Structure 1
Amino acid sequence: MMLKSNRIMQICNACKGFSTSLLLRNRHSYLLLKNSQLQKNEVECVHRSPFFVSLQRACYCSVVDMSQADRVYHAAKRATRKKKSKDAAFKDKMFDVMAYSTADKYNLLTLREKLKEQGLYGYVPLPSDMSEEALHVESLYGVEEEPRGIFFFKDGATVFWNTPQVERSSVLKFLRRHQEKPYDEDLVYEEYDRMHYVYQIGSSQLNGDEILLRQVVDKTDLNTQRLEKYAFSNALALSVSLSIWEAMLDQYVESIEFILQDLKDGKNIKMTERDVLRKAGHLLTLRHLINLRSDLLDPPDAYWDREDLESIYIKTCQYLDIARRTRVMNEKLNHCTELMTMLQELLKDKHHTRLEWMIIILIMIEVRLYLKLIIPLRDGRAKNDHSIRSNIKDGMVM
Structure 2
Amino acid sequence: MSRAEEEIMKIEFTNDDTIYLNNDVNINCSLIDGIYISYNNLERFAFSHALAASVRMGIWERELDRLNDELEQCIDQLKEGKLIWKASKARQTIGKIASIRHSVNSSELLNKDIYWDLLDIERVYESLAKQLKLASRQRDLNKRIDYCEYFVKTIHEMLDQKHDEIDVKTRQSQTI
Q: TM-score range by the shorter chain?
A: 0.7 to 0.9
1:216 CA drift (Å): 3.8
Q: Secondary structure at the match of 1:256?
A: helix
Preserved CA contact (<8 Å) 1:197 1:213: yes
Higher RCO structure, 1 or 2 (CA under 8 Å, sep 6+)? 2
> What pairs up with 1:49-88 in 2 under 5 angstroms?
none
One-letter code of the match for 1:334?
D
Corresponding residue for 2:29?
A: 215
Paired with 2:41 and 2:9, the residues of 1 have a C-alpha distance of: 17
Matched residue, 1:302: 114
CA–CA separation in structure 1 for the residues paired with 2:71 and 2:130: 32
Q: TM-score by structure 1 length?
A: 0.40
Letter in 1 for 2:70: S
- Matched AA of 1:210: D
**Alignment counterpart, residue 198 of structure 1, candidates 4, 8, 12:** 12
What's 1:333 paired with? 145
- Of 243, 246, 250, the residue aligned with 2:61 is 246
| Paired position in structure 2 for 1:231 | 46
Between the aligned partners of 1:247 and 1:191, the Cα distance in structure 2 is 11
Separation in 2 of the partners of 1:271 and 1:337?
A: 15
Identity rate, percent? 25
In 1, the alpha carbon distance for the partners of 2:105 and 2:5 equals 21
Distance 2:117 2:6 in 1: 30
Contact 1:203 1:213 (8 Å CA) reproduced:
yes
Contact 1:191 1:244 in 2 (8 A): no
CA distance in 1, matches of 2:16, 2:39: 11
Given the alignment of the two structures, is residue 263 of structure 1 paired with residue 78 of structure 2, yes or no? yes
Bigger Rg over Cα: 1
**Contact 1:197/1:211 (8 A) holds in 2:** yes
Indicate the residue corresponding to 1:99 in structure 2.
none
**RMSD of aligned alpha carbons:** 2.1
How far off its partner does 1:232 sit? Answer: 0.8
Unaligned runs of 5+ in 1: 1-189, 365-398
Question: What letter is aligned with 1:356?
Answer: V
| d(CA) in 1 for partners of 2:16, 2:112 | 25
Cα distance in 2 between the residues matched to 1:191 and 1:244: 12
User: Which residue identity does 1:207 align to in structure 2?
Assistant: L
Q: What is the CA deviation profile of residues 336-382 of structure 1, one whole-angstrom value per residue up to 9, with x for unaligned ones?
A: 00011101111111111111011101101xxxxxxxxxxxxxxxxxx
Distance (Å, rounded) in 1 between the aligned partners of 2:46 and 2:94: 35
Q: Please state if 1:312 is matched with 2:127.
A: no
**Residue 284 (1) aligns with residue 120 (2):** no
Match of 1:391 in 2: none
* Paired residues, number: 168
One-letter code of the match for 2:160?
Answer: K
CA distance in 2, matches of 1:309, 1:194: 23
Aligned partner of 1:325: which letter? R
Cα deviation for residue 192 of structure 1 reads 7.8
Provide closer, same or farther for how the CA distance between residues 192 and 309 of structure 1 changes in structure 2, counting only shifts above 3 A: farther
**Per-residue deviation, 1:224:** 4.7
Report the Cα distance in structure 2 between the residues aligned to 1:215 and 1:338, rounded to whole angstroms. Answer: 50
Decide whether aligned partners of structure 1 residues 271 and 253 sit closer, same or farther in structure 2, where only a CA change above 3 A counts: same
Name the residue aligned to 2:34. Answer: none
Task: Please state how far the C-alpha of 1:328 moved relative to its aligned partner.
Answer: 1.1
Structure 2: how far apart are the matches of 1:273 and 1:191? 35
Once residues 191 and 286 of structure 1 are traced to their aligned partners in structure 2, the CA distance between those partners, rounded to angstroms, is: 21
3-state SS of the aligned residue for 1:198? strand
For 1:223 and 1:239, the matched residues in 2 are separated by: 22
User: Offset of 1:201 from its aligned partner?
Assistant: 2.5
Deviation of 1:301 (Å) = 2.5
- The amino acid of 2:64's aligned partner reads L
Report deviation, 1:278. 1.2
Distance in 2 between residues matched to 1:223 and 1:202, nearest whole Å:
11
Query: Which whole-Å CA distance do the structure 1 matches of 2:95 and 2:8 have between them?
Result: 32
1:200 CA drift (Å): 2.1
Give the secondary structure class of the aligned counterpart of 2:40. Answer: helix
State the 1:242 CA deviation.
0.5
**For the structure 1 residues 231 and 192, does the alpha-carbon distance in structure 2 shift closer, same or farther, using more than 3 Å as the test?**
farther
